[in-house]
Structure 1
Amino acid sequence: MKHSVKITLALMAMALAAGVGLWSESGSRDTKLPSSLCGTEVNRSLSRLLLGAGAEVTERNEVDHGRPRPSSWCEVFADGKDALSMRFAWHPDAIDPYEVARSVNSVSNVARPQRTDSVFQTVVGNNGAISTVPCKTSAGSYFTLTVLMKDADSVDQTHRADIEKFMRAYFPATVSTLACR
């Protein structure tokens, strides 16, 4: 009996040591990830889902949260490669993100969109997501955010859950920065 307790304790100690090692290693990789993307604070663990651990992140950001324009883009680069494209759009009329995603004329290019159970109207696809909400500003009465992973395969569902998790946190955080009336 004492022998099995020693083995169990030894295994627990090894697991704990490995866990601490993984945790601290992960933490050091995340320090390269920014605490905000395109002007919105975001948890680094969510950024890691779409950008990868340890990526050197830069962005080309045309979005001014305080002075919205009808359409503004923010491109996020990971290790110099185009990783995410975000379109911040304000418009006068309500839209259905599912219909936008399915339109052949859409700038969204969200592959295989499906509606999600969310507070906001949201669709998630294999390579991106679209969310919309009423948000009166000088640029329009509704705000829509499209997030696209540039290197995601449109037929592969590998990133779908990560995209949804990111959007569930990032979209409301972005809306809170917009001074909607």
Structure 2
Amino acid sequence: MAQRLTEPLLRTTGKVSEWHTAGWGEKETNWCIVKAGKDESFRLKFAWHSDATDPMKSASPNKNVTGLWDPARMRLTDSAALGDDGAIATTHCQTKPNNHFTLTLKLTHKDGVPHLRQDVEQFMRAYMPATMKTVGCTPP
């Protein structure tokens, strides 16, 4: 990940490390956890599914896994939601057996809800298209 995009999301110092779920691409859902030092900074969720989803439903603040602080629609892909502490973007993706892909970014800072909407938006505008290319998303 580009340092200029991730650095504002880390909020702590220390060696940056990543952990990925096993079986990348073999499961419908995969995770990447990014830490700075011993502190978890954010999680990325990569999900392939057969139906269209509305990120605003998952972005609702009462959702404990993907809920976002003050979510609003964002123009990025087929549908996207942007909050102060993360974002969710979904798009058509011609992969088998599923034809939709969703990327979720959720900040996991322990010092309360960070208000990093601009930094989250910059990250997603660069990371989502790059991820789509990496996972082989092509428009149907």
CA distance in 2, matches of 1:178, 1:166: 18
Kindly provide the amino acid, as one letter, of the partner of residue 9 in structure 2.
L
Query: Is structure 2 residue 79 aligned with structure 1 residue 121?
Result: yes
**Which one has the largest radius of gyration?**
1
The corresponding residue for 1:62 is 21
Tell me by how many angstroms 1:117 deviates: 2.7
Percent same amino acid at aligned positions? 33
The corresponding residue for 1:161 is 118
Match of 1:171 among 101, 111, 128: 128
TM-score, structure 1 as length reference: 0.67
Tell me by how many angstroms 1:109 deviates: 2.0
Kindly provide the amino acid, as one letter, of the partner of residue 84 in structure 1.
F
Tell me by how many angstroms 1:45 deviates: 0.6
Superimposed CA distance per residue, residues 19-53 of structure 1 (whole angstroms, 9 cap, x where no aligned partner): xxxxxxxxxxxxxxxxx3xxxxxx22111121258
The corresponding residue for 2:10 is 51
Alignment of 1:1-181 (within 5 A): 36=1, 43-52=2-11, 55-62=14-21, 67-102=25-60, 104-105=62-63, 107-151=65-109, 153-154=112-113, 158-181=115-138
Q: 1:81 to 1:105 in 2, by over 3 A?
A: closer
Superimposed CA distance per residue, residues 77-98 of structure 1 (whole angstroms, 9 cap, x where no aligned partner): 1112111111111111001111
Q: 1:84 to 1:139 in 2, by over 3 A?
A: farther
Tell me by how many angstroms 1:103 deviates: 7.3
CA distance in 2, matches of 1:56, 1:109: 28
Query: Is the 1:69–1:139 Cα contact (8 Å) retained in structure 2?
Result: no
Aligned pair count reads 137
Gap regions ≥5 residues in structure 1:
1-35, 37-42
Kindly provide the amino acid, as one letter, of the partner of residue 159 in structure 1.
L
Q: 1:115 to 1:60 in 2, by over 3 A?
A: same
CA distance in 1, matches of 2:98, 2:61: 22
CA distance in 1, matches of 2:36, 2:61: 29
Q: Give the secondary structure class of the aligned counterpart of 1:176.
A: helix
Gap regions ≥5 residues in structure 2:
none
Q: Give the secondary structure class of the aligned counterpart of 2:136.
A: coil
RMSD over aligned Cα atoms = 2.3
TM-score, structure 2 as length reference: 0.84
